[in-house]
C-alpha cells in the first residue's frame, strides 16, 4: 500500500510539473519562451535542410519531432496581451488575436506538414522528402507573412 501511494504521488507530481511547464506562465514569460522557440525552430530548419541534403534520415526525423511538438505547444504561448510592443521584443501581429481561427488553422497546417515530413523521412523516398520539406517551409513562411510583424 505504501509503495502504491508513493507511485501515485510521483505520477501526480510529474503531471503537475509537466502541465505547468508551458501552460501557466505569465505574459512576459510566454513572450520570452516563444521568442526562444522560434529562434530554435529557425536554427532547426537550417540543420534539417542540411541533413536532408546529406541523406541523414534518422537525424532529420529527430529534428522534425521538435516541430511536431512545437506545433502542439505553440498556442499556449500566445496569451492575450502578448502581441508586439516596443518593450517586449515580440514580432507577434495583432492579427493573431483579431483572427484566432486563421491563426489556429495556420498552426494546424504547421502540425500537419511537420507530421507529413516525418512520414516522408520514414519512407526514405527522396522525391517525397524534398517535396514535403518545401511544403513544410512554405507553411512556416505563410504563417509568418500573415501573423508576424
Predicted confidence at residue 118, as pLDDT, reads: 97
For the chain, what percentages of helix, strand and coil (3-state, to nearest 5) are there? 80, 0, 20
Nearest to 83 by CA among 100, 107, 71, 105: 100
50-95 pLDDT, tens digit per residue, is 999 999 999 999 999 999 999 999 999 999 989 888 788 889 999 9
In the predicted structure, residue 9 carries a pLDDT above the cut 50:
no
Task: List the beta bridge partners of residue 102.
Answer: none
Topology of the domain comprising 27-147: 1.20.120
- Which letter does DSSP use for residue 148 in this model? B
* Percent with pLDDT over 90 in the chain: 73
Calpha distance 98→125 (Å, rounded): 40
Buried b (16+ CB within 10 A) or exposed e, 41-80: beebbeebeebbeeeebeebbebbebbbebbeebeebbee
Q: Are residues 78 and 37 in contact, defined by beta-carbon separation less than 8 angstroms?
A: no
Predicted confidence at residue 61, as pLDDT, reads: 95
pTM of the predicted structure, to 2 decimals: 0.80
Calpha distance 62→139 (Å, rounded): 20
In the predicted structure, residue 98 carries a pLDDT above the cut 70:
yes
Task: Give the H/E segment covering residue 123.
Answer: helix 100-123
Q: Are residues 107 and 67 in contact, defined by beta-carbon separation less than 8 angstroms?
A: no
Q: What are phi and psi of 102, to 5 degrees?
A: -60, -40
Domain range list for the chain = 27-147
Mean pLDDT, residues 106-127: 95
Amino acid at each position: 500500500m505504501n509503495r502504491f501511494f508513493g507511485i501515485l504521488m510521483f505520477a501526480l507530481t510529474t503531471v503537475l510539473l509537466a502541465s505547468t511547464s508551458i501552460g501557466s506562465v505569465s505574459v512576459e514569460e510566454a513572450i520570452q519562451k516563444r521568442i526562444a522557440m522560434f529562434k530554435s525552430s529557425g536554427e532547426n530548419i537550417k540543420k534539417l535542410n542540411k541533413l536532408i541534403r546529406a541523406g541523414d534520415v534518422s537525424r532529420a526525423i529527430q529534428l522534425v519531432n521538435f516541430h511536431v511538438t512545437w506545433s502542439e505547444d505553440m498556442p499556449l504561448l500566445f496569451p492575450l496581451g502578448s502581441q508586439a510592443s516596443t518593450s517586449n521584443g515580440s514580432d507577434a501581429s495583432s492579427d493573431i488575436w483579431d483572427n484566432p481561427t486563421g491563426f489556429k488553422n495556420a498552426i494546424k497546417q504547421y502540425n500537419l506538414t511537420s507530421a507529413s515530413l516525418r512520414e516522408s523521412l520514414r519512407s526514405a523516398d527522396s522525391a517525397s522528402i524534398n517535396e514535403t520539406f518545401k511544403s513544410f517551409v512554405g507553411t512556416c513562411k505563410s504563417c509568418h507573412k500573415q501573423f508576424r510583424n
